[in-house]
Amino acid sequence: MQAVEGALMWLVPRLGAFNQVHPGIQLRVKAEFHHLEAEAMRRERTHLAIRYDVAAYPGFDTVALMDEWLLPVGSPDFFARHPPDELLQRSDGRRILNDASPWDGAPPYVEWTRVPARARYMLLSLPDTPRSPAAQVFAEWLREQCAREGRHDAPALS
């Protein structure tokens, strides 16, 4: 399984519960954020990947897990002193809100070009590669965890 740090902060505390229910399933969790390539997943025998993105992943089976809304939060006084346009680009060239590179290949500051903005955590797999029984169990457990917590109404996995 490959996952970005944000997903890991949500996932890692829950892995103990998964292990209690499925003690015979071993997971390999690898946190990295690079362009996802189907051939690399095949070569590394990676069954599942969790990605955070606003884009689609053509060529992969994709299940939406969690939506995330990005929006500035501040006091009325703060927003009176800093109009919305200034939050994105101040006259001195500095940005108050910034994430210069939120994901591989993203244009600079893309998360803040439309505020509020929605991004999504997705579970990806290869359509032409059968999932192992263990990967299928984990994928279904993960989908159920997200749905139970109201993070997303993820459909059942096939």
Provide the pairing of β-strand 117-125 with 30-31.
unpaired
How far lies 57's CA from each of 2, 54, 117, in Å? 15, 10, 19
Inside any domain, residue 93 = no
Inside any domain, residue 21 = yes
Inside any domain, residue 43 = yes
Inside any domain, residue 153 = no
| Residue where the block lists tokens 């997303």 | 152
Inside any domain, residue 143 = yes
Question: pLDDT tens string for the chain (158 positions)?
Answer: 444 566 677 888 899 999 999 999 999 888 776 778 899 999 999 999 988 777 788 899 999 888 877 677 788 898 888 776 666 665 566 655 556 666 667 776 666 665 566 778 889 999 988 889 999 999 999 999 988 876 554 444 44
What integer pLDDT is reported at residue 116 of this predicted model?
63
SS3 content of the chain, % helix, strand, coil (to 5): 35, 20, 50
CATH number at residue 127: 3.40.190.10
What integer pLDDT is reported at residue 110 of this predicted model?
66
Inside any domain, residue 154 = no
CA 27 to chain CA centroid, Å, is: 18
Inside any domain, residue 106 = no
What integer pLDDT is reported at residue 39 of this predicted model?
92
- pTM > 0.85: no
Instruction: Say which DSSP state 89 is in.
Output: -
Inside any domain, residue 125 = yes
What integer pLDDT is reported at residue 1 of this predicted model?
44
What integer pLDDT is reported at residue 30 of this predicted model?
80
Question: Per the structure, how many domains does the chain have?
Answer: 1
Range of the domain at 17: 2-71+118-148
